[in-house]
Structure 1
């Protein structure tokens, strides 16, 4: 029995990893089935999915086979306890050392031990599983959190300033993604971040919202380092709308109300109208009470973005960060949403990350970011005159906008 436990224990970690991998492959295959079919990868992906299950089955069979001999041997020897217990009990009873009832009790106990010892293997495996689960939960519960003070900071303005900000997701300087960023967002100003993909634009936005802490340098709001503010205070002052937005499995009304839990139904609906949400919401079976579905899968990308924008409008924070917030929005609604955002962010400190340069040409300051460093900054006119990278980006943007595919399938000029 002890040998069985030893062999079983050695393989339990491998079993747990194998089981986790198989489950992740099942989830990946099911969630990615649309992409798999769209690119004709059903065969390859199914083979990968089937292999994960087959490998798991093979491992479990080998694991059970390795303990089968010792386990069956132990079960075969358990009944042998009766062979020793019965004659000894009879002999002791005959000699008067124990009574007949004690002898019978000894025999019954020896028989009952067989079932208890048989359950010991199952119990040992369940204990090991509990240990693995507790260790995984403990790693999450003891995960290092961002330090924050207990007292709220006294903020007199909503200026945002980054001073010599350096950042690495891993903490290693060799993997640094931002290199000495100096940037100031004056209160009430409109600042835009543009540049090639992977340049660090979204990272800058997330650092301002304090999703992470900078590796070096500092970020201040109203002259106060955000590390000296409670996270709740930062959240109150900063609205963040990402390109990919998560919707919870509850009604659309409650998803929007997340921006301000104290808002009335009418205030929520007013924000939805401003974000051009009401048109598609009222077409849904239950209107505002329609569940968003798992991760908002009942809605299109553009509709989810508009829900997220409605949240931001309802929150009404003094600092607004928009990370490609209208990237999935159709052209028909984008102009209306941009007008609503412009009206609702008037007087607020606004930071916009955009690839559609026409949406930020009116910005007070356009910052060009490349490879984690600021290449240039200024107004639209200044950058078109002095920044070759921005000039190339603007030409590419205008070139893309000037061509549209007509309903007949022919290319025609469409000066926008």
Structure 2
């Protein structure tokens, strides 16, 4: 039970306690009209039986009590409503924030194994389910259980036969619910899978809209999104169609308890074992205590669905974060010692040994798939090594606090992502406490100040999501400004000019020259002419270090490097031709 409350509250069970307390209090207060009705009806019975006048004073008291109850009920209902919705939205808002922060601390390897649509559905859909459960179901369910228990104990003291009559069919209902749990878990899981698939296909459709248009995949020809939505429709119908009758059956069975009570009570009354007042008490109470349980069963499907969503969320929350408590020292020598690494059991690095000295430029070159990007990802701890060790100074990288590591590393890659925010704030990502003057200085050194000032609102110009309103060269220069503003000791650079035109390449190269001054630079080189002056060039092939040295040394000694240089030289003279010559 503790696990249930922990999961459904997204790890904050204390948030639920005030809502549960007030919901229970409200349920108890709702029994007051039944008590008032009992005294009124009992007075009618006794006055008729004793052939006397009605006690008008009693009815005045009961009337005043009803008015007091009405005001009290309104007040308590208002408090309960506030507590329930406050708990729901607090849990949801804090849970989403905590989950997002937790995802940031997980390894990239874990995130790569998860469908982005799954995480999107979890952040939005699953937490919406929790909101609904906490605001409409969980407090009411707990209060219903407490009320049923208290009523059972109280009525048992008065008459055990009538009490068993009221609760006779409750075990049957609970058994049906217990049996249907497995079915609900299966159907709910399939429904969530269908929602995740739909979200993924929709995301794919929107992101790939250019390709869909270019290759005439629109309309009926792009069937993947249609199939995903159709599957979601089928799973939704199946979920409601199968579990709906189960819920209605349990409610019907539960309601049979009242006729059973009347039957048993009538027999006991005829036999003289109880009087009319006792039977009346049970009938009035029975008419009230079934209500919260009926409401609970009406929401049973949604609550079980919320439990599945909660389990999915906590499955992510329970994933181990990247470990490490050490902090880097002033020695930024990077050392690989017998490092091997695999993606999905496919080894991509084999026994890598190398040393990168501080304030030097080291270039990684080699054919596609040779392991260049993997080495950079390991240095930045996007992944942790599986075999061997990586050191920065004397610190084993897996023992370094990731946040501390990122304070000393800046990354500039080909695929630049800009947030939907102002250019100013996008540059400040590198140092959020930087002054406006510092931002301008970084932008000037990154060769982007001039084009920013030509924009309608200058540095306050809003950027489209992902940087969609800027060109590739402009985004690259803003990303370099970020790195400059961060002022870190280590720069990881995935050749930022590889996909740029000549004009933008020249500007970005100047920006990079400013960026790498007096820093330790590891660059993935695609255009080999940009790294001829590197202090060290490491040639990789099939996940192994083939050779290392300067440009001139490698050109004369390493056949692979020489071939790569020659191919790029020849490609500069390549041109389109109609006849193939």
Distance 1:74 1:163, change over 3 A: closer
CA contact (8 A) 2:328 2:393 kept: no
- The within-5 A match list for 1:7-406 is 7-43=183-219, 46-74=222-250, 77=253, 80-90=256-266, 92-93=268-269, 97-100=273-276, 102-112=278-288, 115-150=291-326, 152-155=327-330, 157-170=331-344, 172=345, 175-403=346-574
CA contact (8 A) 2:477 2:511 kept: no
SS in 2 for 1:8: helix
SS in 1 for 2:533: coil
CA contact (8 A) 2:424 2:459 kept: yes
Distance 1:125 1:67, change over 3 A: closer
CA contact (8 A) 2:187 2:235 kept: no
Q: C-alpha displacement at 1:370, in angstroms?
A: 1.3
Distance 1:47 1:162, change over 3 A: same
CA deviations over 1:40-80 (Å, ceiling 9, x no partner): 22246631111111122223323433345545555555554
Aligned mates of 1:286, 1:309 — CA distance in 2:
21
SS in 1 for 2:518: coil
TM-score, scaled to structure 2 = 0.63
Aligned mates of 1:141, 1:279 — CA distance in 2:
45
Aligned mates of 2:470, 2:282 — CA distance in 1:
70
CA deviations over 1:264-321 (Å, ceiling 9, x no partner): 1111122122222234433444322233333333333333222211111111212211
Aligned mates of 1:224, 1:81 — CA distance in 2:
70
SS in 2 for 1:168: strand
Aligned mates of 2:319, 2:400 — CA distance in 1:
21
CA contact (8 A) 1:29 1:45 kept: no
SS in 1 for 2:224: helix
Gaps of 5+ in 1: 412-416
CA deviations over 1:17-41 (Å, ceiling 9, x no partner): 2222222222222232222212222
CA contact (8 A) 1:323 1:353 kept: yes
My pick for the range that moved more, 228-237 or 334-343, is 228-237
Distance 1:26 1:57, change over 3 A: same
Aligned mates of 1:57, 1:326 — CA distance in 2:
47
SS in 2 for 1:246: coil
CA contact (8 A) 1:79 1:111 kept: no
CA deviations over 1:212-241 (Å, ceiling 9, x no partner): 222222222234433443333322322221
My pick for the range that moved more, 229-238 or 343-352, is 229-238
CA deviations over 1:109-134 (Å, ceiling 9, x no partner): 54556654543334332332232222
Aligned mates of 1:226, 1:75 — CA distance in 2:
59
Distance 1:242 1:44, change over 3 A: farther
Aligned mates of 2:243, 2:401 — CA distance in 1:
55
Aligned mates of 2:266, 2:398 — CA distance in 1:
80
My pick for the range that moved more, 36-45 or 383-392, is 36-45
Total equivalences in the alignment: 403
CA contact (8 A) 2:496 2:508 kept: no
Gaps of 5+ in 2: 1-172
CA RMSD of aligned residues (A): 2.9
Larger Cα-atom Rg: 2
My pick for the range that moved more, 86-95 or 56-65, is 86-95
Aligned mates of 1:131, 1:74 — CA distance in 2:
20
Distance 1:71 1:230, change over 3 A: closer
Distance 1:125 1:298, change over 3 A: farther
Aligned mates of 1:262, 1:16 — CA distance in 2:
42
Aligned mates of 1:94, 1:295 — CA distance in 2:
80
SS in 1 for 2:441: helix
SS in 1 for 2:430: coil
Aligned mates of 2:336, 2:221 — CA distance in 1:
45
**Match of residue 414 from structure 1:** none
Aligned mates of 1:228, 1:22 — CA distance in 2:
40
Q: C-alpha displacement at 1:368, in angstroms?
A: 1.4
